[in-house]
Chain A
Amino acid sequence: MKKVLAVLLVLVMVFGLAACGNTPANNTPANNTTPANNTTPSGPVKPSTPETNPDKIADTMTSPDGKYQVAFVTDIGQLKDKSFNQGTYDGVKLYAYNEGLSYKYYQPANGAEATDDDRYNAMKAAADGGAQVIVCAGFLQAAALEKAAKEFTNVKFVFIDGWNLGLANVAGIAFKEEQCGYFAGYAVVKEGFEKLGFMGGGGGTNAACCRYGYGFVQGAAAAAKEMGKKVEVKYTWQYGANFQASPELQTMANGWYTNGTEIIFSCGGSIFDSIIAAASANDGKVIGVDVDQSFDSKTVVTSALKGIGAAAEWACGKAFDGTWSAIGGNAVSLGAAEGATGLPTATWSMKNYKVSEYEAQLKAVVDGTLKIDDAVIQAPSYPQSTDSCTVIYE
């Protein structure tokens, strides 16, 4: 009996470890079939009227020749994360669909534990699959991207959230996340919220999330100062290092809401699910990230938008219309001036803070009269408290 117990305990431990990350290895979506055996294969056609709603375009399509010209390699987290991956892919889909090109997405194997090799393999699969341009989302792809770009020199790579890798076929696109974080922080304080929270993904090392967080605190502090108030921001990177929802994160958010936090900035892909679950249970509010998330939950007040979709669409355009040299081998940082950061005005739900006020502020950022610090403050440091804004780091 002791032996059986011992075996059992060992198994508990082994599987307990294995259970930490058993997201599946899904290299490619289901549609990697060979061309259908009908007689006259017809490729995708350019639609007569351009589609503007990405949700109306299927995520997977079957190309008759088995080649997919525009490819997308996801960041960790799943494709439909209602945020970063999904938003970027929306841009890829829009471009490909409206130009009559075939498109496909590739998820690196091993999910959240994807290695550089897994990412490289996904890029290689895309290149071998006939991709002319590969959009890679997320700064984690850098090493794999460099390897793939050196190998497939005739394929163009778009590196979203990236930088200049010094390769002519790679275009880095970064964003000024501090701007949209600032807008969101400023807006909610002006709206009347006083106890804010920030939950970031990536464990405090993701540069984009760090800029979002710091911008958010600066915006909240600026608004509070103008209003002569004192606000409080709880700031954490504790959960969501893999941009995934978890019961622990939900408990933590529940705790924050229970103790008076009114609104939490959910800054990290799928962690959104845990936070809206907690918000909904406690009648709290949420600020979305990357894309307009108000369609996903009634608790979303506003979202810190970053034009990932538009940027992906724009960069794909450069790859196909012969103007690639303008961005290839280079890096651009898109911000309010390029219309790449902001808040969603179409789904505006705030009452005390008006669209006109937001637009005035946006203009100030565009023309440079309002400067926002773009420092990347990585954990374990965190934005310092100011007279008008207390930062509580957890």
Chain B
Amino acid sequence: MSFLIQQTLLYAIPLMIVALAGVFAERSGIINLALEGMMIFGAFCGVLFVNTMQDTEWVFAAYREDKYATLQLIIILAMVVAAILGAILSLLLSFASINLRANQTIGGTAINLLAPAIVLFLIRMLEGQNTLFLAKGDAAEWFMIKKSMFGYGAKESMGFLGDTFVHKTYITNYICILLFVILAIILYKTRFGLRVRSCGENPHAADSLGINVKKMRYAGTTISGALAGMGGFVYALTTANCSSNGDVAGFGFLALAVMIFGNWKPLSIAGAAVLFGFFKCLAAGYSSIDINGDGIFMLKELGLSPHLYRMLPYIVTLIVLAFTSKNSRAPKAEGIPYDKGQR
């Protein structure tokens, strides 16, 4: 059970935070197709930051002396770095679609093509190969939270909650969940959030009430870029052993699907991400899932083909979309460049 929950969260959290990134952009009226590109770029920046920091004396000393707090701080800083650089990349999209009123779909696609190319170019310059790894050791050894940090022995149990939500987790999970909640509240319960949303529904009405549409759209897209960049790094840290290779396995596009699936609403998105993560986890780990802890691996004993399990996440998405897309309601003004003169 712990295994199932932990692995589900591993997939669900990057999806959730990147889907929220999509929400911020689209709710402000800009279609952000570039989530994938921003994730790739953010992942690279975060990994590069961690890689560089590992070589500095004080970080290595912290690792040697088991100063876990310092290592966690490095991860938080790396998230910040990834977020800042993701935001900077998103300015390209904002500029093209807000100032130049370019087609947002094309702008996003361009960034999706640009980001992996830049990242690979830089990795080849830096490392002379296609993947940027950690400088030393692996992600779990350096940055994973383990029960030994709290003085538990290898055989001692932390109880179900401890074993599931503390042992073998990354701090990034909790930061992302916290950020998700805070940002969802901002989007729905603050003046700023209302203004952002109004620009995605009816920018002319918003403008007539004195809201600066350009500014709001810039804000929405920049938050979107920051979250996507951060999500990319979280993905790289937790599922790719903190390495970057110009690829996030299509998670950016999956996040777009999750966003549509979640009807542009944070709560539904969280649900959709967990559902998708659950099936992803099922696909890869079905043979090790023992739900009630009696030592019988039911899914494995069913004897179904592993390929069936691997198809599940996508089949389920298709089915659910087929049934829910009727009620799906995109922000009205998304994708339409704002033109003051147009009525």
Are A11 and B105 in contact (CB-based, < 8 A)?
yes
> Which of chain B's residues has its CB closest to A281's CB?
B140
* Given known contacts A4-B335, A19-B249, A22-B246, A247 and B257 CB-to-CB distance under 8 angstroms: no
Distance of A249 Cα from B10 Cα, bound (Å):
13
Name the one of A4, A30, A255, A298 contacting B287, with C-beta atoms under 8 angstroms. A255
> Which of chain B's residues has its CB closest to A11's CB?
B33
**9-residue interface stretch from B48-56, B73-81, B129-137, B182-190:** B129-137
Distance of A212 Cα from B42 Cα, bound (Å):
39
Are B284 and A252 in contact (CB-based, < 8 A)?
yes
* Chain B interface extent, by class: 35 or more
Are A60 and B33 in contact (CB-based, < 8 A)?
no
Residues of B within 8 A of A4 (CB): 31, 105, 330, 334-335
Are B285 and A252 in contact (CB-based, < 8 A)?
yes
Are A79 and B129 in contact (CB-based, < 8 A)?
yes
* Chain A interface extent, by class: 35 or more
Shortest distance from the beta carbon of A202 to any chain B beta carbon, whole Å: 16
Name the one of B11, B240, B245, B250 contacting A19, with C-beta atoms under 8 angstroms. B250
A256 is an interface residue with CB less than 8 A from chain B: yes
B 107-123 to A, binary, CB cutoff 8 A, 1 in contact else 0: 00100100011001000
* Given known contacts A247-B11, A249-B284, A252-B285, A5 and B241 CB-to-CB distance under 8 angstroms: no
Are A23 and B257 in contact (CB-based, < 8 A)?
no
Residues of B within 8 A of A238 (CB): 306
Name the one of A59, A251, A270, A282 contacting B128, with C-beta atoms under 8 angstroms. A59
**9-residue interface stretch from A133-141, A272-280, A340-348, A381-389:** A272-280
A35 is an interface residue with CB less than 8 A from chain B: no
Shortest distance from the beta carbon of B65 to any chain A beta carbon, whole Å: 17
Name the one of B36, B105, B285 contacting A255, with C-beta atoms under 8 angstroms. B285
Distance of A277 Cα from B2 Cα, bound (Å):
18
Name the one of B124, B138, B257, B332 contacting A297, with C-beta atoms under 8 angstroms. B138
Are A255 and B241 in contact (CB-based, < 8 A)?
no
Which positions 247-306 of chain A face chain B at CB distance < 8 Å? 247-252, 254-256, 258-259, 270, 273-274, 276-278, 280-283, 297-298
Distance of A16 Cα from B247 Cα, bound (Å):
12
Distance of A247 Cα from B36 Cα, bound (Å):
17
B256 is an interface residue with CB less than 8 A from chain A: yes
Residues of B within 8 A of A30 (CB): 124-125, 128
Shortest distance from the beta carbon of B212 to any chain A beta carbon, whole Å: 24
Residues of B within 8 A of A79 (CB): 129
Shortest distance from the beta carbon of A19 to any chain B beta carbon, whole Å: 4
A50 is an interface residue with CB less than 8 A from chain B: no
B253 is an interface residue with CB less than 8 A from chain A: yes
Shortest distance from the beta carbon of B44 to any chain A beta carbon, whole Å: 13
Shortest distance from the beta carbon of B290 to any chain A beta carbon, whole Å: 7
Other than the known A11-B253, A26-B124, A255-B284, what 18 A-B pairs have Cβ atoms closer than 8 Å? Answer: A1-B334, A8-B33, A8-B260, A12-B257, A26-B130, A30-B128, A59-B128, A78-B130, A238-B306, A245-B243, A248-B280, A255-B285, A258-B3, A270-B131, A276-B241, A277-B241, A278-B140, A281-B168
A sample of 11 cross-chain residue pairs with beta-carbon separation below 8 angstroms, ordered by A number, consists of A1-B335, A12-B256, A19-B36, A22-B246, A24-B130, A29-B128, A80-B131, A251-B281, A255-B3, A255-B7, A297-B137
